[in-house]
Amino acid sequence: CRDNICLPIRTHYCLNSFSACNKTKISGFCTNSTCTNIIKGLKYIIHHNVHFDWSNTNKSKVFIRSGNPGYVIGKPIIIGLSRMNESNEILFNKSNAFLTLPLARRNGECSKHIVAFGEDIKLRCFVKLFTKNFTTSSCTKLQNMTLHLLMKDSLLNASQHYSVYVSKLGNVTTKYMDWLRITFDNIPQNVVTAHILGKQISCSGLVTSVHLDVLYSILPKTKTLMNYKILGVGVMFGKEKDITWPKCTTKNCTNILHVDI
């Protein structure tokens, strides 16, 4: 069996009990019809790892999740949608399945970070908008960029057509009882205005932060990993802010709107 297929067997020798073992090889021998250090039992311990993937999608893209019986520390928090006032069935998008927050790349610009269960984090990054013609639409576009990074588009549309849910136990089912609705303490009104004051430009009413609370409990302990159940998820957006930047003054110049989130 080739090395890239089979793993070597690591042998341990135990004295009187499988709990007293080490790698030291003990020689057996027989004298005058009496044998010493003879092996009387054999026990195999197999370590393995499991990945889940979808049967009808790209096999090279592994979909990692906690699975049954509950969430495992470090695995993604799974979300789904339910169309308001129409059905109790949960809609699950395999390409947009996890709760995310913005995370800085090496240059500080924002990317998406998949929130893991049990993760206590505070993240920061920035976005930039380049505009030659600064108007209220510039502020609106900047706000949309910020909100897209703070929360998924599906969460931002929660007050319109869909209710957003989180999987209670870290697995994917269509059963309504296996999901919890995410609650929002406040919803951004997305009403922003632009101001030009001399050599400065500003946007009023920008939302640049969000706070997530996840309430959970420990499930009865199994023989292997500790498992958890989510009891509730709350989302609270930060207060609206007014942000000011220096106005570019040369001909055909470009204003740079920089926002920390």
pLDDT of residue 126: 93
- Rounded to whole angstroms, how far apart are CA atoms 186 and 166? 18
- pLDDT at site 131: 93
Task: Say what percent of the chain tops pLDDT 90.
Answer: 28
Q: Which residue has the tokens 């055909």?
A: 252
What would you report as the CA-atom Rg of the chain, rounded to the nearest whole angstrom?
Answer: 28
d(CA 95, CA 133): 36
Nearest to 101 by CA among 110, 88, 89: 110
Mean pLDDT for 26-39 is: 81
CA distance 134 to 199: 13
pLDDT for 200-216, tens place per residue?
999 999 999 999 999 99
Q: Which residue type, as a one-letter code, is found at position 250?
A: T
pLDDT higher than threshold 60 for residue 75: yes
Give the pLDDT score at 184: 84
- Report which DSSP code applies to 249: -
DSSP-derived secondary structure for 157-217: TTTTTEEEEEESSS---S-GGGEEEPEES-------EEEEETTEEEEEEE---EEEEEEEE
Neighbours of 127 (CB within 10 A): 19
| Cβ–Cβ under 8 Å, residues 116 and 123 | no
Alpha-carbon dihedral angle through residues 210, 216, 221, 224, given to the nearest 10 degrees = -20
Residue 159's pLDDT is 47
CA–CA distance, 1 with 4 (Å, rounded to integer): 9
pLDDT at residue number 59 = 58
- The pLDDT of residue 31 is 84
Q: For residue 33, what are its two tokens?
A: 């019809």
Q: What is the mean pLDDT of residues 253-258?
A: 93
Question: What's the mean pLDDT when you consider all of the chain?
Answer: 82
131, part of any domain: yes
Q: Flag whether 116 is in a domain.
A: yes
pLDDT band (50, 70, 90) for residue 224: low
The answer to whether residue 36 sits within a structural domain is: no
> How confident is residue 57, by pLDDT bands cut at 50, 70 and 90?
low
Domain that holds residue 133: 63-260
Give how many domains the chain has, as a whole number. 1
Residue 53 in domain: no
What pLDDT digit, counting tens, does each position of 87-111 carry? 677 777 777 788 888 889 989 999 8
d(C-alpha 169, C-alpha 155), whole Å: 20
Residue 132 belongs to a domain: yes
Residue 2 lies in a domain: no
Distance from CA of residue 252 to its chain's centroid? 42
Instruction: Kindly state whether residue 21 falls inside one of the protein's structural domains.
Output: no
Task: Record the tokens describing residue 22, joined without a space.
Answer: 């080490």
pLDDT at 83: 67
**Reported confidence tier of residue 226, pLDDT bands at 50, 70, 90:** confident
